[in-house]
């Protein structure tokens, strides 16, 4: 929501808010596994996705600031309520699918806390931790606890910013002291001969879409900028200050991702990097080298705390947009039910069931990293589908609603919008296609099973809002749905 306090948002403030919305340490191992090719992936995600998404969502957010500026409003105004509902549904459900991945990272951190790193490779341990933590977070959310805000605030500092700074400093010290660099060591990337030197390439060794399959997961790490872009209308001079804020945020995000991933890559051979425990693997080696091994457990606790705080803050957050659509008659009235604390009960229960079912993948799959990446790919395809709708809506609204007052406009007129939103749309399409191909450097087993899981996730979760709309009834409208569904609405 735009700033409603009357105070303008500064360039520095918006940049920090954007960094907080986007940056996460869970993706560092995935980037590190690509060696120097990570530079290509990071630059691709920045210029083909992050910046176009920021510019487009800023224009849409400022144009619809009075109505909240959310993706539901943007897409609904461009393509009608059915696709607006689909867009907000995708934004919600991708977040639900995301929980088992980010909590998998927390489970790996907890394994180091109890001094048993092998647990990080146990699907039973990882899946159990995910289910337990998420159910506890749901219980807290049901009570509307205000303690969640404090956990989130300190979680970002203790669980993200401090570990990020520490891994970068330790990595630089490792290189400065002349220690061996893992991704430069002969055969470090392991595997077969054709990939022997893949870790030393600045560009991916393209032998098929499977060789760049991590692209979708890495692009996903840059997602979320649209959450803060609606703040553009609260700036004194949006046309000048917003691009400056996005440039500053992009530089910060790129530096942390690049330096953090390099720090992991210099100490852990690519073939040995766990997608869930890779960061803790690097910390263990670095801390032992500098005789600080006692901090390993502390960092495990800090990062687990950071992830848990983040999840607790997001358990109710994304469901609020979907709750609003239920109140507008886009879903059955029971979906809009809230309890005395104002928590969206039905949506929280649905989230808990979906997360529990998806967490079972860790029990079924032999390799934790493969289960993690399958869920990451599923999350990416859902979120990227939403971004396709957002980019298309921006282009259409330039033609159908030129009268809308826009505090910030993508420069270059209609041609500029076509170029920026078009680039973002094509980049998202490419990343989505790549996401269906199993990574060449992960033991996924039967590739048909992998592709089937990702495709099923996209079709099932995207099809659900369309099916709901197909059976939409006039009785769902607030005026006829009864008063019980909205009696606690103001408490959300």
Predicted local confidence at residue 266, as pLDDT: 92
The sign of the torsion formed by the CA atoms of 238, 243, 247, 250 equals: positive
Q: Averaged over 363-367, what is the pLDDT?
A: 87
**Triad 213, 216, 222: Cα angle to 5°:** 145
Q: Which residues, in sequence order, are CB contacts of 474 under 8 Å at separation 6+?
A: 480
How far out from the chain centre does Cα 193 lie?
A: 34
Q: Give the mean model confidence (pLDDT) for residues 228-236.
A: 75
Average pLDDT over residues 62-76: 79
State the pLDDT at residue 428: 93
Q: Look at residue 392 in the predicted model and tell me its pLDDT.
A: 97
Mean pLDDT is highest, among 16-20, 251-255, 262-266, 370-374, for 262-266
The two structure tokens encoding residue 332 = 């059955």
Residue 180: is its pLDDT beyond 60? yes
Residue 210 has pLDDT above 60, yes or no: no
Report pLDDT for 487: 37
Q: Is the pLDDT of residue 163 over 70?
A: yes
pLDDT over threshold 70, residue 209: no
CA–CA separation, 383 and 379 (whole Å): 6
Inter-axis angle of helices 38-45 and 238-267, nearest 10 = 160
Cα–Cα distance, 472 to 23 (Å, whole number): 38
Dist. CA 375–CA 71, nearest whole Å: 23
Q: Of the spans 68-77, 159-168, 305-314, 471-480, which averages the highest pLDDT?
A: 159-168
Q: Residues 452-468: what's their mean pLDDT? A: 91
- pLDDT band for position 484 (cuts 50, 70, 90): very low
pLDDT above 70 coverage of the chain, percent: 85
Quote the pLDDT of residue 205. Answer: 61
* Confidence bin at 463 (pLDDT 50/70/90): very high
Which of 143-157, 382-396, 470-484 is predicted with the least confidence, judged by mean pLDDT? 143-157
- In the predicted model, what is the mean pLDDT of residues 51-59? 90
- The pTM assigned to this predicted structure is 0.82
Is residue 230's pLDDT more than 70?
A: no
Tell me the C-alpha to C-alpha distance, in Å, between residue 58 and each of 48, 391, 410, 420, 488.
Answer: 16, 12, 8, 12, 31
235 or 352, which is more confident:
352
In order of 36, 272, 363, the CA distances from 201 in angstroms are 6, 18, 35
């Amino acid at each position: 929501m735009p700033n409603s306090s009357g105070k303008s948002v500064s360039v520095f403030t918006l940049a920090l808010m954007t960094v907080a919305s986007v940056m996460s340490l869970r993706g560092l191992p995935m980037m590190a596994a690509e060696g120097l090719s990570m530079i290509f992936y990071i630059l691709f995600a920045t210029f083909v996705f992050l910046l176009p998404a920021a510019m487009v969502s800023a224009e849409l957010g400022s144009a619809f600031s009075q109505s909240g500026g959310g993706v539901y409003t943007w897409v609904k105004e461009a393509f009608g309520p059915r696709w607006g509902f689909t867009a907000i549904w995708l934004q919600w459900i991708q977040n639900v699918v995301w929980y088992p991945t980010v909590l998998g990272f927390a489970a790996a951190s907890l394994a180091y806390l109890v001094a048993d790193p092998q647990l990080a490779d146990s699907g039973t341990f990882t899946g159990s931790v995910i289910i337990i933590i998420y159910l506890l977070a749901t219980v807290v959310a049901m009570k509307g606890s205000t303690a969640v805000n404090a956990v989130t605030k300190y979680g970002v500092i203790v669980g993200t910013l401090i570990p990020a700074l520490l891994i970068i400093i330790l990595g630089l010290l490792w290189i400065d002291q002349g220690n061996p660099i893992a991704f430069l060591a002969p055969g470090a990337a392991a595997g077969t001969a054709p990939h022997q030197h893949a870790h030393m390439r600045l560009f991916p060794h393209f032998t098929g879409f499977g060789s760049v399959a991590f692209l979708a997961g890495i692009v996903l790490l840059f997602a979320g900028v649209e959450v803060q872009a609606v703040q553009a209308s609260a700036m004194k001079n949006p046309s000048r200050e917003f691009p400056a804020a996005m440039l500053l945020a992009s530089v910060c995000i790129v530096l942390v991702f690049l330096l953090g991933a390099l720090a992991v890559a210099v100490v852990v051979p690519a073939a040995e990097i766990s997608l869930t425990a890779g960061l803790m693997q690097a910390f263990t080696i670095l801390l032992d080298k500098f005789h600080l091994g006692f901090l390993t457990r502390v960092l495990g606790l800090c990062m687990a705390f950071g992830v848990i705080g983040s999840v607790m803050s997001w358990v109710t957050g994304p469901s609020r947009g979907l709750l609003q659509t239920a109140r507008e008659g886009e879903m059955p009235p029971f979906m809009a039910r809230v309890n005395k604390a104002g928590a969206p009960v039905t949506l929280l229960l649905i989230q808990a069931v979906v997360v529990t079912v998806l967490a079972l993948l860790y029990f079924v799959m032999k390799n934790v990293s493969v289960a993690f990446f399958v869920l990451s790919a599923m999350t990416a395809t859902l979120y990227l589908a939403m971004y396709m709708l957002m980019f298309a809506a921006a282009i259409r609204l330039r033609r159908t609603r030129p009268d809308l007052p826009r505090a910030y406009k993508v420069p270059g007129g209609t041609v500029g919008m076509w170029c920026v939103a078009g680039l973002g749309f094509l980049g998202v399409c490419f990343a989505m296609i790549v996401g269906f191909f199993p990574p060449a450097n992960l033991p996924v087993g039967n590739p048909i099973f992998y592709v089937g899981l990702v495709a099923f996730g996209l079709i099932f979760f995207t099809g659900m809002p369309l099916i709901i709309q197909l059976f939409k009834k006039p009785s769902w409208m607030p005026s006829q749905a009864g008063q019980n569904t909205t009696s606690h609405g103001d408490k959300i």
